[in-house]
Structure formats: structure tokens, C-alpha cells
């Protein structure tokens, strides 16, 4: 194969394919139109009229565009360990491979049944029509077509599927042009990667993976003969549809190969007798984790565009750990059922788990059942976090340099002017505790101290800190903001808490580690580039206090027998209940609620309802993860 065409094309797969190429499949069979068209061509050649035909078709596509031709390819999405999660494509499910990566048996089988004189003709072969007629009569069926491989290729790439003499002549002219520009092996490579093999499968590699669950390079003679037999009528001869007919077609191909002397009688008999393990249809398969893969596709589309994702042959390594993802999905489904058994009618749940060291999303569940609702609550549902927002306020207090976890704050009645009225914050139980340390105020999730801190620090400062932590949802600097009077997604909360866990180092959460094209060229590299956005002492102080929330405060149901920091969240109307917590290696947010915003019922709290679910997930997720302690505030300089 020459070095200046196909190899260069493969190295440039990240470029956009020429828009003039249309992927049209019309399996060539010997018909009356074919015979008439070829007869006309023979007459033209005999009369020296081929030049005239070429002039008549001077407006035909320029076959030289194939020098830079990039056929559409299937994109694949994998978990962080390389396990396939999903494949996506447009109409054509295709993987492109080099000719050297295709089984010699398959190349011979295809040429035997489609164009046995491929390497001797110049694109058209008028005499093959007569041979095809004779072979078909002798066999009692169509065993050889009149169109050459080159003619089939230009028909698929450039021409309409109509069966007309004019199209056959155009096909012949383009074939001659193509053979003048490309070498035989290049044409055969293009053909084998372009041809339709049935069930929305295009190209030899994808077909081999589908029909036999192996690479095209590893096909046996028996498998190669069956695949070659499909080209004439892929769905009709498909072993998925009619295995008996597929075996009969295989025998026809093997017989033709023996007739040509390309295999021996013994090889033919052995191939016919070889048992075949048939694979499965791979086109339009469902995702193993649809909430995840839909989010990945959304992120890819924002970067590359929809067409590039569907046709670009991308290899996407995600941040998702499939084993952790399965634990998350099982946790959500099992606990949702358990809540129903206890009479709590919460119709939905969402979970996001992020590695604080990288801000890679390790697991994400957007709802109880994707088949009944594709709405992804983990990244699309904006719900009030309630007291799970208070850590933003207390971090701001520590970062101001005016407060420590042991500073005293007043849990006493207060009112603030709010327009023409007064806003009077109240604690969950309606009581007041007087002078208490900030540590205790957060451990017991007292509302009044949080509102007072918000007014002393300035609510706008809390908004600024929220933006540093990656919160993009709209936020109004209202008096009640410290109590969670804002709509956030579980992803936003999980990402912010992951930054607390990393002592202030932040990266934007992502589902994608790296994207390459099918040749291995890197298109996107999301290697973490964390930035220090928080004061480390203040972040460590917050973590120290949030450990108290789990040890002796509202989050005791989340204890894991190892250092844990976290915060409960419950809105006044019990419409949204949360627990968001972390260990040094994993931060997880869980939300429970109803899509129609109806209350969950009296007594529904983040500590009583969601903390146990969080614990259930984290115990399994951290089963093989070493116990680590958080860094202490005294390890950092105080602001």
C-alpha cells in the first residue's frame, strides 16, 4: 500500500470527512438492468466510445476526494478500567481497520464470491458478465455478480441506488478513474471497511465482532466464508435470522473458493464441518449505565459537537468505576424499595460520588429507574439543599479570620428587615440554646446562628465562595441563603464538598479522563489541574467540625468506623432531604424527594432518612479502600 494515501488518511481521522460522500448501500446482484448496462458498456468499448461517455459524465464526483476520505466510525465509551459501557453511532456502526488487519481467508472469500478477477481487471470487466451468467446457471443460484468490487465501492460512495443504465455507465466511468488513482490493495481496504454486512453493521471489523465476537484478523476460513456470503443479501443470509440459510450460503462461497483453487477439498470439508459460535447484534445496544453514558455524551457534545461524537470513532475513557457505579445503582434501588416498605413515598433518589483528589466522578445515579424516567436528577434537578448548605457559611466564617470552631455565637431570637416585612429565622425544634460554640451550632444544625453569621459576613461573600466551589446555579443574596434557600444539583454539592475534603484544592468535576480517535491520537486530555481556591486552614477547620456532625450531631447514622465528615440537609417543608459527606478519598451526595415537589411527610430528615442510605453506599464503596485520617487545622497556617 502506498504511503501517501490511506495511511495518511488514518492519521488524520480527527478532521471532518468531505460532505459530498454519501453512505449508500445497494448490494449488487445480476439483474436485467445490470446486463443491459454492461452490454452497453461492451459496445461502447468496442466502438471506442468510452471517451465520449467520460465526457458525458464530466460532472461526476471527483474520486480524488477519497485520498482524504474519513468513513464514519462508531464511538466507544469505557469506564476508567477499560470496561465497555456503551457504543454510539449514526446509521453506520463501523470500525475502520487496515487491510493487513483482516484475515487472508476473509479477503479471499470476499473476492471469490464478489470479484474473483479483481487483481487482473482495471475496474470494469465486461467478460466477467458472461462468466457470471455461466457460473450462476451451473450453480442454480447467484454465485457471482457482474459488478466488480471497484464498481460496488463507487456505487456505495457516490451514486444513487436506482437501477438504471445511466447509473451503471457512471459507475463504470468512476471505477476506471478510481483504478487510475488507487492501488488494488487500497481499493480493497476501502471496500471492506465500507461494505454493509447487515443489522446496521458496516465494515469488516464491526461485522466480525458482531457475528463471531472476534476481530476480523482472527476469523477462521469457516467464519470468513459465512461473512463473505452475507454481502449479496445481508439480512436474508444473516445467521441471526436464518442460520440454515447462512450455512448454505457459506457452502456456496467455499465451493467457489475450491473451484478457483484457492482452497483444497479438504479445507473446504473442514470449514463446512466446523461448529460456529455466533455472537450478537451490536448496533444500537443499550447502555449498561444509561444515566452515566448520557451525561458523558452530553459532555462530549458540548466539546466536539453531535456529528463528531456519532461519526468520529472516538475512544472515550470515563472517570466512572463500573464496580462502584453498580454499587451506587443497587444502593439507590434497594433503599428506594425499603423506604416504600416503611411507608415513605419518595419517588426519586439521586447519588453522586466524586474523588476529592481528582474531582473525577466515580459513580452517578440520576434516578431510581432509567427505563421509566430518563430525567437525570443528579445533574439536571435543582433542589433546595436545606442545611446541607450551611458548611458554605461556616467556611466563610473561618476564612474571614474572625472565627474558629470554638468561637461563641448566639442562638437567640432575632429579626431582620426584609422589604416591607421582617424575616425571623427559627430553629428546627423551635427552641434557642443561647451562647454556644460554632462547633456545636453546626453539629446540631441550628438555623439562627447560621443566619446571624451570614449577616455578619455578608451574604454576597457566601455567594462568592459558592462560585469558587463550582456552584453555577443562580443564587440570590437573600437573608435565608445560609439555610439553603437556593436550588442546587447533587453534582454541584458533591463537587463543593469534594473541595472541602481536599483542603481547598478544586477542579471542575468531569465524567471524562481522555478522548482519542480510533488511531490513538489524543483529542481531549482531562488530566486534573487542581487549583487552590480555599484557605487550607479554614477548609480543614470546617472538616474538623463536620466530623463532629457525624460523631455526635445530626448525622450519627452516617458513622462508618473511620474518619467521616458530613452534613444533613432538610428543607422546612420536607420536600428535599439530603446527606452529603466525605472521607479523604471519596465525597458523596445523596438526595431523596419527589419530582412533583410534594412533601415526604412529617419526620423526614436528612439524618434519619438519607444518612443511613449514604452509610450503606459508603461501606460497600470503601470496602477495599485504606482508612485515612483528615489533615488537622494546626497543620496549616491560620489566615
Which is the catalytic residue, given 14, 387, 480, 507?
387
- Crossing angle, helix 221-230 and helix 243-259, to 10 degrees? 110
Active site residue 114: yes
What distance in Å separates the CA atoms of residue 31 and residue 152, rounded to the nearest whole number? 14
Beta strand 416-418 with 421-423 is: antiparallel
Our CA angle for 522, 196, 27, nearest 5°, is: 150
The verdict on whether 387 is a catalytic residue reads yes
With beta carbons less than 8 A apart as the criterion, state whether 276 and 239 touch.
yes
Kindly give the interhelix angle for 126-139 and 32-46, rounded to the nearest 10 degrees.
150
Helix (H) or strand (E) holding 524: strand 522-525
Catalytic residue among 73, 87, 103, 114: 114
Burial of 626 from C-beta contacts in 10 A (0-12 / 13-18 / 19+): exposed
Q: What count of other Cβ atoms lies within 10 Å of the Cβ of residue 619?
A: 14
Strands 348-355 and 360-365: antiparallel
SS3 track for 92-123: CEECCCCHHHCCHHHHHHHHHHHCCCCCCCCC
Q: What does the buried/exposed string (b/e) look like for 453-473 if buried means 16 or more CB atoms within 10 Å of the residue's CB?
A: bbeebebebbbebbeebbbee
Residue keyed to cell 483453487: 261
Q: Compute the distance between CA of residue 202 and CA of residue 314 in angstroms, rounded to an integer.
A: 16
- Residue 558 in grid coordinates: 452516617
Question: Kindly report the CA angle at 276 between 272 and 282, in degrees rounded to 5?
Answer: 135
β-pairing verdict for 315-318 and 84-88 = unpaired
Please list the active-site residues: 114, 387
Amino acid at each position: 500500500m502506498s504511503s501517501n494515501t490511506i495511511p495518511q488518511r488514518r492519521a488524520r481521522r480527527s478532521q471532518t470527512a468531505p460532505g459530498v460522500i454519501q453512505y449508500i448501500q445497494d448490494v449488487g446482484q445480476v439483474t436485467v438492468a445490470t446486463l443491459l448496462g454492461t452490454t452497453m458498456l461492451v459496445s461502447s468499448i468496442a466502438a471506442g466510445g468510452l471517451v465520449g461517455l467520460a465526457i458525458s459524465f464530466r460532472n461526476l464526483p471527483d474520486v480524488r476526494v477519497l485520498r482524504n476520505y474519513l468513513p464514519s466510525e462508531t464511538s466507544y465509551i469505557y469506564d476508567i478500567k477499560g470496561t465497555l459501557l456503551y457504543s454510539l453511532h449514526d446509521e453506520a456502526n463501523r470500525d475502520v481497520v487496515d487491510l493487513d488487519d483482516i484475515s487472508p481467508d476473509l479477503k479471499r472469500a470476499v473476492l471469490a464470491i464478489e470479484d474473483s478477477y479483481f487483481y487482473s481487471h482495471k475496474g470494469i470487466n465486461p467478460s466477467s458478465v458472461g462468466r457470471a451468467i455461466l457460473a450462476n446457471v451451473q450453480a442454480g443460484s447467484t454465485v457471482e455478480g457482474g459488478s466488480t468490487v471497484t464498481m460496488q465501492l463507487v456505487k456505495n460512495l457516490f451514486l444513487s441506488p436506482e437501477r438504471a443504465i445511466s447509473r451503471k455507465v457512471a459507475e463504470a466511468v468512476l471505477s476506471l478513474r478510481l483504478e487510475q488513482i488507487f492501488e488494488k490493495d487500497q481499493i480493497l481496504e476501502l471496500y471492506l471497511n465500507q461494505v454493509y454486512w447487515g443489522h446496521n453493521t458496516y465494515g469488516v471489523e464491526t461485522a466480525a465482532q458482531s457475528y463471531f465476537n472476534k476481530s476480523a484478523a482472527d476469523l477462521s476460513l469457516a467464519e470468513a466464508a459465512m461473512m463473505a456470503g452475507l454481502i449479496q443479501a445481508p439480512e436474508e443470509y444473516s445467521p441471526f435470522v436464518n442460520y440454515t440459510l447462512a450455512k448454505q450460503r457459506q457452502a456456496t462461497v467455499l465451493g467457489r473458493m475450491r473451484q478457483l483453487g484457492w482452497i483444497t477439498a479438504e479445507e473446504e470439508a473442514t470449514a463446512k464441518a466446523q461448529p460456529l459460535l455466533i455472537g450478537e447484534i451490536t448496533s444500537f445496544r443499550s447502555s449498561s449505565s444509561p444515566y452515566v453514558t448520557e451525561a458523558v455524551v452530553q459532555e462530549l457534545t458540548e466539546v466536539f459537537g453531535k456529528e463528531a461524537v456519532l461519526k468520529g470513532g472516538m475512544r472515550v475513557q470515563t472517570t466512572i468505576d463500573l464496580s462502584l457505579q453498580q454499587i451506587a445503582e443497587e444502593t439507590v434501588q434497594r433503599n428506594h424499595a425499603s423506604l416504600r416498605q416503611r411507608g415513605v413515598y419518595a419517588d426519586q433518589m439521586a447519588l453522586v460520588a466524586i474523588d476529592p483528589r481528582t474531582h473525577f466522578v466515580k459513580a452517578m445515579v440520576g434516578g431510581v429507574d432509567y427505563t421509566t424516567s430518563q430525567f437525570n436528577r443528579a445533574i439536571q434537578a435543582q433542589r433546595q439543599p436545606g442545611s446541607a448548605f450551611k458548611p458554605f457559611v461556616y467556611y466563610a466564617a473561618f476564612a474571614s479570620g474572625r472565627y474558629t470552631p470554638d468561637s461563641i455565637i448566639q442562638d437567640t431570637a432575632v429579626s431582620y428587615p426584609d422589604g416591607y416585612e421582617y424575616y425571623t429565622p427559627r430553629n428546627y425544634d423551635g427552641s434557642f440554646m443561647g451562647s454556644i460554640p460554632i462547633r456545636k451550632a453546626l453539629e446540631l444544625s441550628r438555623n439562627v446562628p447560621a443566619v446571624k453569621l451570614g449577616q455578619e459576613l455578608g451574604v454576597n461573600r457566601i455567594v462568592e465562595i459558592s462560585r469558587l466551589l463550582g456552584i453555577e446555579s443562580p443564587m440570590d443574596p437573600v437573608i435565608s441563603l445560609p439555610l439553603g434557600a437556593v436550588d442546587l444539583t447533587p453534582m454541584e454539592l458533591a463537587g463543593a464538598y469534594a473541595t472541602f475534603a481536599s483542603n481547598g484544592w478544586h477542579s471542575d468535576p468531569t465524567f471524562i479522563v481522555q478522548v482519542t480517535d480510533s488511531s490513538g491520537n489524543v483529542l481531549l486530555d482531562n488530566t486534573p489541574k487542581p487549583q487552590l481556591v480555599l484557605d487550607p486552614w479554614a477548609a480543614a477547620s470546617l472538616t474538623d467540625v463536620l466530623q463532629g456532625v457525624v460523631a455526635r450531631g445530626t448525622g450519627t447514622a452516617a458513622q462508618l468506623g473511620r474518619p467521616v465528615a458530613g452534613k444533613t440537609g432538610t428543607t422546612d417543608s420536607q420536600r428535599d432531604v439530603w446527606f452529603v459527606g466525605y472521607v479523604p478519598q471519596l465525597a458523596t451526595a445523596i438526595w431523596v424527594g419527589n419530582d412533583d415537589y410534594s412533601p415526604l411527610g412529617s419526620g423526614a430528615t436528612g439524618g434519619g432518612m438519607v444518612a443511613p442510605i449514604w452509610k450503606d453506599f459508603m461501606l460497600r464503596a470503601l470496602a477495599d479502600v485504606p482508612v485515612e485520617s483528615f489533615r488537622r487545622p494546626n497543620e496549616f497556617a491560620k489566615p
